[in-house]
Chains A and B, each alone.
Chain A
Amino acid sequence: MKNIVAFLLAGGMGSRLNVLAWMRAKPAVPFGGIYRIIDFTLSNVMHSAISHVGILTQYRPHSLMSHIVSGEAWDFIGRSRGAKVLPPSTGINDSDWYLGTADAVAQNLDYPRQCGAEQVLVLSGDHIYHMDYQPMLAFHRERDADITIAMMHVPWSETRHFGVAKTDADGRIVLWQEKPEKAESNLASMGVYIFETSYLEKVLGQRDKHDFGHDVVPHACESGRVYAYPFDGYWADVGTLRAFWQSNMDILKSDSGLELARWCVRTNVEEAGLIGDRPPAFFSGSAAVSNSLISYGCRIEGSVVNSVLSPGVRVERGASVRDSVIMHDVRIERDANLFEVIADKRSRFGTGSIIGSGECGAANIRYPDHVSTGLTVVGKGALVPPGITLQRNTIIEPWVNEESYRDFAPQAGGYLARA
């Protein structure tokens, strides 16, 4: 498909993912064992036979760039295909950091112009879902719309986090509310937009509109033809630690609608040091595994229940992992006990350590908005020394070492910074 290009907004800091997004952009956060969050959207673009995609980055793009490389993993190579990483740039006319979603697109309108694209598909790089964009494009063209927005019904309690709309019988949006206190509809935007390129050029020409949801769409609903395209499959915004954990757990629920194998999600398995040719997972005679996703390269000698394990995780004899998301090359030593833990890459849990102990208790002392439901989050490369007990809602910063624990008194909602 040459007359449409996709823009993937992958610049967000993802601050609510806390330590997981300190070193990497939110779309590059590992998900579902072998994937990164952005793989879901990139795979959707690939399966929808859209041959040009521009990835708009800004915050810590290195993980993302080494992940995408040429786009080969998603078949974006060939003379008339391509995946381009588009970072902010300085120039004579446009030189600035991206000020928002619409601004990032405005600064890169050359890309659809070069491709001769009549429509621009704008996507978010931090959602977990499976969608064919072609029927939406057909819907958009049939209605001669300026903008079409993919929308789904969400629980009324969630509407304040979304742009919501009321539509007429044909799907045309008659009322738009951005993150309303009192919503008049629970039909919510998934952050998937199709724009007429000419319309975008017109409204973004002045560069005074920075955000699609806040600035562009409300304005367009009054003066243009804006339609809602209905979607009713699995969709999750994994922008919070709780939602990130829950969506990982959804992989393990047969009725959640999140089906990795059926969705044919692709990832770059050749990314340096990530997966390569790791051997099959090894299960020893003492292994006990139930309701879990276990990637290749793992070595399981202990017990793993309701958990998602990325490649290279080692669970030693007597250790127990329950309801947890464990990323690449984490080592869980003998008799360690993990419950409701998110462990970033290469963290290490010493012999006999107990993580996620006790009742849910107080929210995290430093980030009460990020961690309050009982999860324990351990940053990249951090150490949990042997015998230590961590209460729930604790956050351990990346690269914390033995020394950092000198004055650490475990408590619910604890926070440990690197010494």
Chain B
Amino acid sequence: MKQIIAMILAGGRVDELSVLTLYRPKAAVPFGGLYRVIDFPLSNLMHAGIENAGILSQYRSVSLINHIGSGTAWDMVGSQRGISILPPMQGTRRSDWYKGTADAVYQNMEYIESLDPEYVLILSGDHIYQMDYLRLLRFHQRVEADVTIAFVRVPGKGSERFGQGVIEEGSDREGGRLLRYVEKPSQSISPWASMTIYLFNRPALDFIMDEKMTPPSTEHFGRDIFPVLLEEKKVFGYRFEGSWAYTRTIDEYWEANMALLSEQPHIDPAAWGVRTNLDNERIRDRAPTIFHPDAHVRRSLIHSGCTIHGSVDNSILFPGCRIETGAVVENSILMYNTRVGEGAKVNGVIADVEAVAGAHSHVGWGESRGPNIEYPDLLRSGLTVVGRNTRIPPRYRIGRNSIIYPNKFENDFPEEQLDHGRTLK
């Protein structure tokens, strides 16, 4: 389909994911034992037949560039198809770091103009959901909107972290005129939260870029553009009723992953036809996982290339993990090539790629006794986060709600143990 292109906002670091986003943007965070977060919107695009996408990326792009590759994984190769990574650039005009969602699009209008679509779909690269964008497009066309914003119902606490919209109640169940829009309101105005999915008519987008962009005061669609656009253009709210998960915090990330372990998961990448790039992390070349005679596995997701000697319960293992004899892994997410040594215990842990728990170490030890001291808002539910390539020494103990930064080795750890709620930088 040529009349619509997508621009994916994948620039953000998102502090709330702590060490998981030190080396990669949020969109490239591994998810569900195989995928990356951005696979969800990319697969949605593929299934909708939207064949051109620009990815606006600025923070630590290498991981994302590796993952996107040529775009083959999502069938976006060919003379009329393509994924382009659009990094910030210098030039005679419009050259700078991206300062916000609207600014990033503003700086890449040449890309949009070169493809000359009738519609531009702007997406965030960090939501987990399945959505038929064509249905959104049909709604947009039916109500003759200039701009349509998709909303999902997020009642109660936490909804004020999103843009909120008041959608006119009418005969159309799918949506209505957007009456009010407030970005991250201090007090909730509506249960409908923005999914950062914006569908623009070209004239409307051109109008915004030509008339409304007055840097540095206009940077974000949600904060700076939409509230004033409601008066001048036909802006509609689309009510999304499907499954959706947001992984902005460590707890949300862990819960969205763990949801995959239920018997009838509401997040179902296989049923949704989610694709990933099998060249990244050598997924395609790994041998199948072997469960040795001493292995015990329950309620878990395990991909290829793992070697399982110990016990794995209620956990998600990405390709290449190695669980040695007598090791016990519970309630944990272990990313690519994590190793859990002989007799080690790992409970409630998110381990980034290549992390090692030494023999007889105990990570996530004891009960949760209050939040992380340095980052109480980030980590308070008892999880422990281990950065990539960190090696926890043999027989070492690490309490709950702790954060270990990447690339920490035996000598970086304090003697004896790391207490509850500590952060090792």
Contacts and interface: CB of A to CB of B under 8 A. Distances in A.
B269 A251 contact: no
B237 to A, nearest CB: 33
Nearest to B312: A283
Decide if the interface of chain A is mainly helix, strand, loop or mixed. loop
Contacts of B295: 289-291
Contact of B291 (A265, A270, A294): A294
A356 interface: no
Interface string B251-263: 0000000000101
Interface in B240-296: 261, 263, 269-270, 273-276, 278, 284-296
A74 to B, nearest CB: 10
Interface residues of A, number: 36
B305 interface: yes
A284 interface: yes
Nearest to B272: A279
B303 interface: yes
Interface string A255-266: 000001100111
B316 interface: yes
A296 B288 contact: yes
Contact of B297 (A252, A264, A269, A289): A289
Interface of B: 32-34, 73, 261, 263, 269-270, 273-276, 278, 284-305, 307, 312, 316-318
Nearest to B318: A280
B299 to A, nearest CB: 5
Interface in A55-82: 73
A326 to B, nearest CB: 12
Nearest to B284: A269
Given A251-B290, A265-B287, A277 B34 contact: yes
A292 interface: yes
B288 A280 contact: no
Contact of A280 (B284, B294, B296, B302): B302
Contacts of B269: 279
Nearest to B315: A283
Contacts of A270: 278, 284
Given A292-B291, A293-B289, A295-B304, 16 more contacts: A34-B304, A260-B287, A261-B286, A265-B287, A270-B278, A277-B276, A279-B269, A280-B33, A280-B301, A280-B302, A280-B318, A281-B302, A285-B298, A290-B294, A291-B292, A294-B302
Nearest to B270: A279
A146 B297 CA distance: 55
Contacts of B276: 277
A283 B298 contact: yes
Given A280-B301, A296-B304, A291 B293 contact: yes
B297 A287 contact: yes
Interface of A: 32-34, 73, 251-252, 254, 260-261, 264-266, 269-270, 276-297
B285 A280 contact: no
Contacts of B302: 280-281, 283, 294
5 contacts: A34-B304, A260-B288, A280-B317, A287-B297, A289-B296
Nearest to B261: A282
The list of the 6 closest CB pairs from A to B, nearest first, reads A280-B33, A260-B287, A280-B303, A33-B288, A280-B301, A261-B287
B261 to A, nearest CB: 8
Contacts of B289: 281, 293-295
A264 B285 contact: yes
A61 B305 CA distance: 30
A73 B307 CA distance: 24
Contacts of A294: 288-289, 291, 302
Contacts of A269: 278, 284
A297 B318 CA distance: 13
Nearest to B72: A270
A279 B318 CA distance: 11
A287 B261 CA distance: 13
A251 B290 CA distance: 9
A266 B298 contact: no
Contacts of A280: 32-34, 301-303, 316-318
A281 B301 contact: yes
A249 to B, nearest CB: 12
Contacts of B263: 284
Nearest to B273: A277
Interface centre among B291, B316, B318 (most CB of A within 10 A): B291
B422 to A, nearest CB: 32
A273 to B, nearest CB: 13
B275 A277 contact: yes
B386 to A, nearest CB: 20
Contacts of A252: 290
Contacts of A277: 34, 73, 273-276, 278
A276 B292 CA distance: 26
Given A287-B297, A290-B295, A281 B303 contact: yes
A329 to B, nearest CB: 13
A304 to B, nearest CB: 8
A293 B298 contact: no
A285 B304 CA distance: 20
Nearest to A311: B288
Contacts of A287: 297-299
A251 B32 CA distance: 27
A109 to B, nearest CB: 34
B32 A261 contact: no
A256 B290 CA distance: 14
A188 B251 CA distance: 61
B285 A266 contact: yes
A34 to B, nearest CB: 5
A318 B299 CA distance: 15
A252 B290 CA distance: 8
